Homo-oligomer: A and B are copies of this chain.
Amino acid sequence: MAEREVDRSISQTVKAQLALRDQILSGALRPGERISELQAVETTGASRTPVRMALVRLEEEGLLEAIPSGGFMVKAFSERDISDSIELRGTLEGLAARFAAERGVSARELEPLKECLAAIDELLRQVPISVDAFSSYVALNARFHAQLTELSRSPPLIRQIDRASALPFASPSGFVMAQSALPEAQQILIIAQEHHRVVIDAIENREGARAEAVMREHARLAVRNLRLALRNRTHLDLLPALALIKTATD
């Protein structure tokens, strides 16, 4: 094993973690499948120690599950798990929005949020929206949510929201992609954008309850849309995170 290629630009642990996460989310590793350390060593190029650290981190992240007799397997999720995760995230974001409103934020802090808002408005002007525009939307939407979370100025809450989003299907990109598969996509995105607008307004006017309520409604919309999208399974291959849903036939 003399000619092991060692990439010294980043830590081996991080490299292994990213590589394994990719394999899981891309579906190369199926839900319920046991992950062999040796195999992971070969595919990631790191040695066993960093691979093990990466496995532990991915377990804490919620993508893997420890097997009692030893080792790890890819976690499998039900549709209910997914919709619960979205609602959970919405609840936490609602709390973040309330904190932001109650504690007050300066106009300067709201600036980046408003920029996101305007950029999304621009995208939504296209009818029908293109696939490329969807990618931009996904990125902008994620930025909006991340910045909103930051406004709470509460490190424990921010941390928790990050973890809730680690379940990838609960992330904005997850359900937005699902939405993109629907004919009603355009209408849905417009409603979501309205939510974004309202939450900013509520924070500006220090209306904590209203800010919280709209974020929860935002999540409920996403849940409804996910259900709809799961019903017309036609375009679900757009959603890589769905590799994690356990299928009945497997």
Contacts and interface: CB of A to CB of B under 8 A. Distances in A.
B88 A157 contact: yes
A158 to B, nearest CB: 10
A87 B87 CA distance: 18
A156 B75 CA distance: 12
Secondary structure of the A side of the interface?
Answer: helix
Interface string A99-127: 10000000000000000000000000000
A220 interface: no
Number of copies of this protein chain within its complex: 2
Given A62-B156, A88-B156, A88-B157, 11 more contacts: A52-B53, A60-B60, A60-B61, A77-B156, A80-B154, A81-B155, A84-B154, A88-B92, A88-B95, A91-B91, A156-B167
A24 interface: no
A172 B87 CA distance: 24
A220 to B, nearest CB: 12
Nearest to A164: B160
Interface size class of A (residues with CB under 8 A): 20 to 34
Contacts of A84: 99, 154, 156-157
A91 B99 CA distance: 13
A156 B61 CA distance: 11
